[in-house]
């Protein structure tokens, strides 16, 4: 059996990755290490085979705890653990710098101490900043780092500590940079699940600014497959941009959700724009396609329908979140604008 160490595996993408690996890679055992912050949720891991998946609650910045949890003979570390929401980073950046940068360094040091074969850093297209609306411009692996939010800055810095570990100590590392994910179990602070949850409850849908910002959306399972391929086939020291060539303006996304749920567009509320709001993200995935043999398998129409179905069928999951710390976050974030 191959052993892998997955951090942040109780979050949205990490839990999808863990589920996919258990299904598709019968020779792999997973140690899933997650601090269970507001975004971590053990409900995301319900029903997994305990013989091949063990969960350890812990902070990636806690060096002794990481060293104890990372198994001997571990083949790879997949670092999903992060503070991940741009709006929260605008409100307060401290935790982003701590988890996303220091935490990555601690994991790299531990991986080196334990002789782990490969380190996979799950990064984001947001490290490259914002593109002009002219739709001939794309992010490539040669695009410079130009992060605009505290979140993006912390993820860019995490890429740099990964690079430094490779250059200084020869750590075998690959970086994946993906666009906006959507799918089941995404925390309802992010655009798509927030709009689905509010629409299902006939509550207003807060659209920032003019609603014309562009994001490049990818179904979470397609992202997870690319991460696995980067681990198996990626070249050490390389970054791979992951995207499904699926650019959408926010307003189009919101309208599609309302239409699918049979709710009126009068629920849309234009609210103040996010500070430093990146205008457009768009990824050229040609390197991942050619070097990794990766292709997205889920169309936008299929993925959005499956996501909406999941939230419809799992309202208890959403309600557990909406009844907790989220209530206060929502009041602070949107209270004044939505009344
Ligand atoms: P998420 O917020 O849903 O999950 C993050 C997970 O990390 C949670 O389970 C949380 O408990 C855990 N965590 C946070 N701080 C921790 C710490 N100090 N120690 C251990 N665990 C900790 O995030 P997500 O959307 O699943 O994103 C996962 C990764 O993918 C992140 O690194 C993010 O930057 C990256 N990414 C996300 C997207 C996206 O669209 N969501 C796109 C590209 C890249
Ligand atoms: P988000 O899901 O936070 O992802 P990111 O900022 O990492 O791209 O937001 C996606 C887009 O939706 C972004 O342009 C901001 C916008 N947005 C809104 O218009 N209203 C909202 O309430 C939220 C959370 C996001």
Q: Indicate the burial class of 308 (C-beta count within 10 angstroms; 0-12, 13-18, 19 or more).
A: buried
Q: Is 125 a catalytic residue?
A: yes
User: Are residues 138 and 283 in contact, defined by beta-carbon separation less than 8 angstroms?
Assistant: yes
Give the CB-side neighbour count of residue 148, counting CA atoms within 13 A: 15
> What span, in angstroms and rounded, lies between the C-alpha atoms of 261 and 58?
39
Mutate to test the pocket of ligand 2, among 149, 178, 190, 272 (most ligand atoms within 8 A of CB): 190
**Per the residue annotation, which of 29, 32, 59, 125 is the catalytic one?**
125
Q: Whose CA is nearest to atom 9 of ligand 2?
A: 191
Angle at Cα 209 formed by Cα 203 and Cα 210, nearest 5°?
Answer: 95
Question: Does any ligand 2 atom lie closer than 6 A to the CB of residue 208?
Answer: yes
Contact yes or no for 318/188 (Cβ under 8 A): yes
> In this predicted structure, what is the pLDDT of residue 336?
84
What's the pLDDT score for residue 337? 85
Whether 99 lines ligand 2, by a CB cut-off of 6 Å, is no
Q: How would you list the strands of the sheet with 2-7, edge to edge?
A: 53-57, 28-34, 2-7, 74-79, 118-124, 173-178, 239-242
Note the pLDDT of residue 240: 98
Find the helix or strand (DSSP H, E) in which 240 lies. Answer: strand 239-242
The per-residue pLDDT for 68 is 98
Res 39: pLDDT = 97
In whole angstroms, give the CA distance from residue 281 to residue 279: 7
**89 CB near ligand 1 (under 6 Å):** no
Ligand 1 site, residue 154, Cβ cutoff 6 A: no
d(CA 66, CA 69): 5
For position 134, what pLDDT does the model report?
A: 81
Q: Which ligand is nearest to the CA of 147?
A: 2
- Dist CA 128 CA 246 (whole Å): 18
* Active-site position among 151, 281, 330, 334: 151
> What domains are there in the chain, each with its CATH number?
2-181+217-242 (3.40.50.720)
Q: Is the CB of 250 under 6 A from ligand 2?
A: yes
Minimum-distance ligand to the CA of 18?
1
- Stated pTM of the model: 0.98
What is the pairing mode between strands 205-208 and 74-79? unpaired
CA 322/CA 187 separation, integer angstroms: 10
- Ligand 2 lined by 225 (C-beta under 6 Å): no
Strand partners, 214: 249, 280
Tens of each residue's pLDDT in the chain, 339 residues: 999 999 999 999 999 999 999 999 999 999 999 999 999 999 999 999 999 999 999 999 999 999 999 999 999 999 999 999 999 999 999 999 999 999 999 999 999 999 999 999 999 999 999 999 987 899 999 999 999 999 999 999 999 999 999 999 999 999 999 999 999 999 999 999 999 999 999 999 999 999 999 999 999 999 999 999 999 999 999 999 999 999 999 999 999 999 999 999 999 999 999 999 999 999 999 999 999 999 999 999 999 999 999 999 999 999 999 888 888 899 899 988 887
Ligand 2 atom nearest to 213, measured from its CA: 14
Task: Report which ligand 2 atom has the smallest distance to the Cα of 207.
Answer: 19
Structure tokens at 37: 């912050």
């Amino acid at each position: 059996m191959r052993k892998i160490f997955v951090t942040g595996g109780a979050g949205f993408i990490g839990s999808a990755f863990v589920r996919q690996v258990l299904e598709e890679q019968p020779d792999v055992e997973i140690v899933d290490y997650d601090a269970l912050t507001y975004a971590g949720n053990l409900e995301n891991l319900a029903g997994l085979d305990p013989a091949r998946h063990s969960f350890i609650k812990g902070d990636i910045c806690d060096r002794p705890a990481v060293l104890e949890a990372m198994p001997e003979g571990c083949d790879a570390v997949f670092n999903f653990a992060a503070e991940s929401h741009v709006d929260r980073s605008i409100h307060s950046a401290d935790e982003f710098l701590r988890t996303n940068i220091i935490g990555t360094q601690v994991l790299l040091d531990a991986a080196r101490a334990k002789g782990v074969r490969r380190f996979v850093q799950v990064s984001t297209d947001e490290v490259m900043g914002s593109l002009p609306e002219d739709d001939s411009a794309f992010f490539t692996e040669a695009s410079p780092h130009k992060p605009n939010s505290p979140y993006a800055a912390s993820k860019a810095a995490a890429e740099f500590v990964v690079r430094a570990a490779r250059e200084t100590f020869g750590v075998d590392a690959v970086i994946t940079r993906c666009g906006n994910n959507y799918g089941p179990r995404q925390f309802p602070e992010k655009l798509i699940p927030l709009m689905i949850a509010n629409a299902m409850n006939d509550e207003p849908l807060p659209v920032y600014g003019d609603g014309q910002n562009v994001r490049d959306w990818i179904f979470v399972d397609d992202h997870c497959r690319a991460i696995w391929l980067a681990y198996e086939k990626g070249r050490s020291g390389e970054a791979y941009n992951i995207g499904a060539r699926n650019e959408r303006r926010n307003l189009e996304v919101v309208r599609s959700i309302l239409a699918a749920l049979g709710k009126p567009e009068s629920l849309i509320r234009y609210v103040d724009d996010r500070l430093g709001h990146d205008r457009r993200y768009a990824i050229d995935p040609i390197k991942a396609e050619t070097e990794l043999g990766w292709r997205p398998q889920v169309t936008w129409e299929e993925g959005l329908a499956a996501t909406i179905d999941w939230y419809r069928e799992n309202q208890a999951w959403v309600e557990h979140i909406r009844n907790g710390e989220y209530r206060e976050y929502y009041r602070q974030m949107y209270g004044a604008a939505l009344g």
